[in-house]
Amino acid sequence: MPTPHVTREINSSSFLGGGIRAAVVRVLITGIAVFLAVMVVPGLEVTSFPAGLAAVLVLTILNLLVRPLLLVLTLPLIVLTLGLFLIVVNALLLELTGYLVEGFSVTGFWSAVGGAVVISLVTMILNLWTSDRRPKEPRSFPQRPPTIINPDE
């Protein structure tokens, strides 16, 4: 009888191994992207560190909850513009973050578009850099010999 490898299965499960860790990495990546966007794009301003942290958390939650709904609603425009309308969707989410978080301001649509482009590029690069590209170990299940059912016996 084969020995079960419970610890390996628990460690490789996406529930314990990737859930909280993946969420923390996602928030950190968004934080770095928002920080760089505030530094580079004129029109994006943060008054204090807690306001910047709140903006990162709100933007992450909006990306998690509101963005999929916006993507479904604007799918014809996204297809028609070959994906360029995604920048507008991201800019609207950045504007909404500026509206919801006191101390984080976005002064105009074009500042939001510039911030959305910077945040998207930085997030894409950091996600590529932090993604796990190791080959997955194929699961091997022990094979039982086939049971032959003979109705004549």
Q: What is the DSSP string of 76-94?
A: HHHHHTTTTHHHHHHHHHH
Alpha-carbon separation of residue 99 from 3, 72, 105, 144 (angstroms): 57, 23, 7, 62
The answer to whether the CB of 71 falls within 8 A of the CB of 53 is no
The answer to whether the CB of 104 falls within 8 A of the CB of 51 is yes
Which of 65, 92, 57, 64 lies closest to 78, judged by CA?
92
pTM: 0.73
Q: What integer pLDDT is reported at residue 14 of this predicted model?
A: 43
Q: What integer pLDDT is reported at residue 9 of this predicted model?
A: 42
Q: What integer pLDDT is reported at residue 10 of this predicted model?
A: 41
Alpha-carbon separation of residue 153 from 16, 72, 146, 150 (angstroms): 50, 61, 17, 6
Q: What is the pLDDT along the chain (153 residues), one digit of tens a residue?
A: 454 444 444 444 444 446 888 889 889 999 999 999 999 999 999 999 999 999 999 999 999 999 999 999 999 999 999 999 999 999 999 999 999 999 999 999 999 999 999 999 999 999 998 877 767 777 777 888 888 788 676
Q: Cβ contacts of residue 30 below 8 Å, gap of 6+?
A: 56, 59, 60, 63, 119, 123
* Ranges of each domain in the chain: 15-129
The answer to whether the CB of 89 falls within 8 A of the CB of 74 is yes
- What share of residues in the chain are helix, strand, coil (percent, to 5)? 65, 5, 30
Tokens 């590029």 sit on residue: 121
CA-CA distance, 67 to 93, in Å (whole number)? 8
Q: What integer pLDDT is reported at residue 15 of this predicted model?
A: 40
Q: What integer pLDDT is reported at residue 75 of this predicted model?
A: 95
